[in-house]
Structure 1
Amino acid sequence: MAFAAPNLNPARLRSYVLRLPLCTRIILFLAVALWVASIPWTDLRQKCALIPDQVSFATGYRLNTYPITHLGFFHLIINLVAITPLLERFESEHGTLVSFSLFSGPFATLPGVIYLLIERGILRGNTPVQGASVWVFLLLSFEAIKTHRANPYFSIGPYKAPTWTTPLFVILITSFLIPNTSLIGHLCGAAIGYLWGMNYIKFLAPPEKILRWLERKLNLLARLPHYVSVDKSTFGRYGVLPSSMPLQNMPAGSSQKLGA
């Protein structure tokens, strides 16, 4: 399977950024805006992080804010570079409305709830987590399932491994090489990505019939620049970039996350 990735050529990189679809733009903007806002308001990071013993009915918003909150500038940049091509590809395939509904809802809350159950309920710990790497591994796992259907195995020397295990190898390597990363948090994101890729939780997406009605009723294609229709044959006024980078060539920088 292929990914659309920025070319290092400045002109092509600028063109790529200018043509990013709408939901991808919104998520990247929110992540940057929260980081900027956390400079004068230093406690903002703490208030948005997923801290197990501070999650209650009144603070349930943490289950939605932790993926777009980061520990610092380099944590932010690494995650944005890693997630942008994955997110752009997902939106180009599923549409802006589907992407926005999933990433503002179940793709954030489900990994968060699983993390709380494991960290608080089983391990009796209280390790805070934050960062878009939960989405990086969710999307990598989804792509790995698609790749596995076309190419079931990849070679490691004389051995063969199932293609769907690729994100698990990256998660393990990341946990050893990069400090303050959450192995459990990454695995929770990967688990939801696998479930989505195997069509077990596709019911979480809004019904396509309703989305098509909304698009026609509100004339979203004409009104919203960079909007991607749920109709696979329609990619908005500005289009989306073709996909070109295979899963095996994804940079391992998709790894930074959360924690500490």
Structure 2
Amino acid sequence: MSMASLPQFNPQRIRSYILRLPFCTKALVAAILGLWVATIPFPWVREYGRLEPAKMDLTQMHRLNLFPLMHLNFIHMIFNLFAVTPLLERFESEFGTLVTLALFTGPFGTIPGGVYTLLENFVLRSNTAVMGASIWVFLLLSAEVMKTHKTNPYFSVGPYKVPTWTTPLVLIVLTSILVPHVSLVGHLCGAGLGYLWATGYIKFLVPPEKILRWIETKLNLLGRLPHYVSVDQKTYGRYGVLPTSSVPLNTRSPEGGQRLGP
């Protein structure tokens, strides 16, 4: 095999991909990177943000929001970033920036974190501290795989047919076996919430669309934020209305501009 046939590292393509990321995805990635950098001169930041069940009380609720953004070291952080970024991008492109921001700074951290704390304190009688965006990785994987399950319920492994929806659970078990210091229970809590989200039982966690549209209009988010994903993609397109042109691009269309997205 010649060197020319090997995949070439192209920093320009990576830069282009990062710049095209939706707004909230980019913000969450920046928060993960920023908090990791902060732990270098200030190691106490990691202890402040990690989820430690025995320390949880009303004065420690910030841990439920911070622990998915905190990481043990650079390797832990970079692997989780590679895994969670494309999943976050897909979620935001489907549901919008405001929905993504509301869920991932709120219930998508507090609910699995709270369940994990209860299980550790009252069932397992343990105090295993956890941190990392892998809980979001398995949450989003579980939600995605449920869509695939509707069209492709099974995949074949030799003579066996395995339900597609079990794929994240298999990955969780394999990760727990192959990777040291990972939390099987924490990953299961994330996956469980992902399954619930996919079934629609917890859609009430999303703020009412009427309120989201009012915020978008009042703050002019479509005009102010680059790569902002509108909550109303049917009207505005995935990234809002493109600037109108003085020369009509399609004389058959009654609209002055073109939309990007469905």
Does TM-score exceed 0.5, indicating one fold? yes
Aligned to 2:154: 153
Q: Distance in 2 between matches of 1:31 and 1:134?
A: 14
> Does the 8 Å CA contact 2:230/2:240 hold for their aligned counterparts?
no
**What pairs up with 1:110-129 in 2 under 5 angstroms?**
110-129=111-130
Following superposition, the deviation at residue 13 of structure 1 comes to 2.2
Identical counterparts, % of pairs = 59
Unaligned stretches of 5+ in structure 1? 1-6, 243-260
Instruction: Give the superposed CA RMSD.
Output: 1.8
SS where residue 85 of structure 1 aligns? helix
Aligned to 1:133: 134
Following superposition, the deviation at residue 232 of structure 1 comes to 2.4
Following superposition, the deviation at residue 200 of structure 1 comes to 0.7
Following superposition, the deviation at residue 238 of structure 1 comes to 9.9
Q: Distance in 1 between matches of 2:147 and 2:40?
A: 40
Work out which of the two has the higher radius of gyration on C-alpha atoms and give 1 or 2.
Answer: 2
Unaligned stretches of 5+ in structure 2? 1-7, 243-259
Letter in 1 for 2:80: N
Following superposition, the deviation at residue 81 of structure 1 comes to 0.4
SS where residue 58 of structure 2 aligns? coil
SS where residue 42 of structure 2 aligns? coil
> Does the 8 Å CA contact 2:22/2:97 hold for their aligned counterparts?
yes
**What pairs up with 1:53-202 in 2 under 5 angstroms?**
53-202=54-203
Aligned to 1:27: 28
> Does the 8 Å CA contact 1:225/1:237 hold for their aligned counterparts?
no
SS where residue 200 of structure 1 aligns? coil
Further displaced range: 131-140 or 213-222:
213-222
1:236 lines up with 2:207 in the alignment: no
Following superposition, the deviation at residue 12 of structure 1 comes to 2.7
Letter in 1 for 2:121: R
> Does the 8 Å CA contact 2:138/2:190 hold for their aligned counterparts?
yes
Per-residue CA deviation, residues 136-155 of structure 1 (Å, 9 max, x unaligned), is 00000000111101111111
SS where residue 41 of structure 2 aligns? coil
Letter in 1 for 2:28: I
Following superposition, the deviation at residue 214 of structure 1 comes to 1.4
CA, structure 1 residues 238+157, in 2 after alignment: closer, same or farther (shift >3 Å)? farther
Q: Distance in 2 between matches of 1:160 and 1:8?
A: 38
SS where residue 162 of structure 2 aligns? strand
Per-residue CA deviation, residues 200-251 of structure 1 (Å, 9 max, x unaligned), is 1011001112111211122110011111101124222699x99xxxxxxxxx
Q: Distance in 2 between matches of 1:152 and 1:183?
A: 25
Q: Distance in 2 between matches of 1:176 and 1:150?
A: 30
SS where residue 154 of structure 1 aligns? strand
Q: Distance in 1 between matches of 2:232 and 2:240?
A: 13
**Count of residues in Structure 1 that have an aligned counterpart in Structure 2:** 235
> Does the 8 Å CA contact 2:222/2:240 hold for their aligned counterparts?
yes
Q: Distance in 1 between matches of 2:90 and 2:149?
A: 17
Structure with the bigger RCO (C-alpha within 8 Å, sep 6+) is: 1
SS where residue 155 of structure 1 aligns? strand
Q: Distance in 1 between matches of 2:63 and 2:241?
A: 34
Per-residue CA deviation, residues 167-215 of structure 1 (Å, 9 max, x unaligned), is 0000000000000000000000000000000001011001112111211
> Does the 8 Å CA contact 2:148/2:164 hold for their aligned counterparts?
yes
1:210 lines up with 2:223 in the alignment: no
CA, structure 1 residues 219+58, in 2 after alignment: closer, same or farther (shift >3 Å)? same
Q: Distance in 2 between matches of 1:206 and 1:156?
A: 41
Following superposition, the deviation at residue 15 of structure 1 comes to 1.4
Following superposition, the deviation at residue 32 of structure 1 comes to 0.7
Aligned to 1:37: 38
> Does the 8 Å CA contact 1:226/1:238 hold for their aligned counterparts?
no
